[in-house]
A and B are shown apart, each in its own frame.
Chain A
Amino acid sequence: MKTVEEIKAAIEAAVPGAWVEIVPNPSVSGQHSLRLAPEHAFEVATFLRDDAELSLDFLSNATGVDWLDKEIAEKVKVAKTVTKTLDGVDQQVEETVEETRKRVVPGYLEAVYHLFSVAKGHGPVVIRIRTLNRTDQVSLPSLTPVWRSAEFQEREIFDLFGIVFTGHPDLRRLLMWDEFKDHPMRRDYVEPDDFEYEPTAHDDVLKRAEAHRAKLAAATAVQEGAGA
């Protein structure tokens, strides 16, 4: 089978303007993946399926991954002018000081697809598509029209991670019930408290219930703010 570099070159030759990035996999499994831009993902997927040499006709696994916001602390050398008292006289001195700066890398949601070829017997080729962020820009193109096996799996990703697949013919919740609000597979999902099942609500339980309601209200406010 072609290596990821060769597949990248083949995609770039076949789909003009397609952006492909190789995501290396440091583990011994050696399953490196290709990250696609959402704009071209559909065309690239069609190419991967129909190309005579690759013929990745079998989408085995489609799943979501939630990557939280990451706070990165960096040490930066900064030149500063410091006032120092030397020999009883105040002087302006240039000094290099190390400072720790924190920056936040925004998180994103990612859909990962594992492709195999039934015709040629090779695989897996892993493709990944990521959303812009985790809150309001969470739509990705659906690959269900290319591989039917994504139909339920993309519904599951939508259900559990909240990625909205545009072009999916029947995007509904798969496992949770329709009235359910949140997306339980997100890393920051807050589990509902079990206070409602307490047979005799008393002080401590009532407090917990109140705290839980406040937490839910805050979460809903954030969601509505993001949705609007």
Chain B
Amino acid sequence: MSTSGFVQEKDKHEGWNRPPLIEPDGEGELLEVAMGPHHPSTHGVFRMDVALDGERVIRLKPVFGYLHRNHEKLAEGFTYLASMPFTDRLDYICPLTNNWAYALAVEKLTGQEVPERAEYLRVILGELTRVVNHASAIGFLIQEMGASGTPLMYAFREREKILDLFEALTGARMMVNYMRFGGCRVDATPAWLEGVRKVLAGLPQFADEFERLLCGNEILMARTQGVGILRPELAVNAGVTGPMLRASGVNYDIRKVDGYGIYNRFNFRVPLGEHGDIYDRFMIRLLEMRESFGILEQALKDIPAGPVMDPKAKLRGFRPKPGEAYGRIEAPKGELGFYLISDGGPNPYRYRIRPPSLINLTILEDMCLGMNVADVVLIFGSVDIVLGEVDR
């Protein structure tokens, strides 16, 4: 038995929240496989160094940094506003929630008010983003299970409709650069809101269709139920957030806990899982999508007229007073936070992103140990990450 690259010191695993290490059985040699960085299931450039005993995973070490561009360092050299377009490129599936989290953190730092209409627009865009993200996440997950094409194209069909809406409002499908400190960049026209209503009217039918197509599928159930189980205590301790955490049965949704923006006004439920396996994560995303439809309906009904920017907001010569602030939102992938330190200058002294994708991967090894190598792909897919955010 030889393993060249792996640290296998047992004492490193004792005394802190780690699973017991699995010992290989028999006399066979361990096989080391580098899954990635160009493995199609890694959603970008990400590597897992896996040690296998036959088909069983004995060790798994994630390797990051292939997409690292030190966004945090870049932001220290730019003004506050100039970092806004860069946030689009973090989690490029959900640029609008990234914008929102950054705007929220700056607003906490400066105490700017956001007009009603802008808050409603943010909720509408945030929930549309959640639908886009969850639909694609499920599509990709099924794709990795071997159902090539069909489910992913179902998801992408709806995604395109929503991206068209984003394009109509912001000018870009993905690199939206839409939110500002104290509001939003441009107002939505009545025709655009009508367009959202039209797309929204078709979404529940899509969810039904998608659910019918997938949920009763025998192969899907066999591959996902009881696989990649994450215990709730470990999930909380490891800082896992978002649908991953709720699939393990922990009721923690920042939209409810913090009630940031105007989320207190909406009536929605937080779906919780029971087993914390891949199937639960997949179901939680489906259910969350349905709750998002409800929020969207309420927001579209109540959206008031008015300005979308705080008239006192200053875009040029923007210099927050010295101090610091941590602002966070419930992004589709989990808790997305921005931590800013201002020294009174035009650039942030420190600009930190709390990436949900990276921190949700902390327990990847724990979930994969003892599983088959084919399950690793699924477990990894069920975490739902985007490498732009993991590596920043």
A interface with B by C-beta (< 8 Å): 25-29, 31, 57-61, 63, 65, 112, 114, 118, 121, 124, 126, 144-145, 147-153, 160, 169-170, 173-177, 184-185, 189
Contacts and interface: CB of A to CB of B under 8 A. Distances in A.
Contact of B239 (A31, A147, A184): A147
A65 B237 contact: no
Contact of B323 (A27, A58, A145, A147): A27
Contacts of A124: 326
Contacts of A148: 16-18, 234, 237-239, 362-363
Interface stretch (B64-72, B202-210, B367-375): B64-72
Contacts of A170: 7, 12
Contacts of A150: 239
Contact of A65 (B109, B238, B350): B350
A185 B326 CA distance: 19
A139 B72 CA distance: 23
Contacts of A112: 339
Chain B contact residues, majority secondary structure? mixed
A25 B237 contact: no
Nearest to B358: A152
A139 B137 CA distance: 40
Contacts of B237: 57, 147-149
Contacts of A58: 236, 239, 252
B361 A29 contact: no
Given A149-B359, A175-B70, A185-B72, 12 more contacts: A26-B321, A27-B110, A27-B321, A28-B108, A58-B252, A60-B337, A61-B352, A148-B18, A148-B238, A149-B362, A170-B12, A173-B65
28 contacts: A25-B323, A27-B108, A27-B110, A27-B323, A29-B109, A29-B326, A31-B324, A31-B326, A57-B236, A58-B236, A58-B252, A60-B241, A60-B335, A63-B339, A63-B350, A114-B326, A114-B354, A126-B326, A147-B239, A148-B16, A148-B234, A148-B239, A149-B237, A149-B240, A151-B238, A152-B362, A170-B7, A170-B12
Contacts of A160: 70, 72
Interface string B315-331: 00000111111101000
Contact of A26 (B64, B323, B363): B323
Contacts of B38: none
The 6 tightest CB contacts between A and B, nearest first, are A27-B323, A149-B239, A29-B325, A28-B111, A145-B16, A175-B65
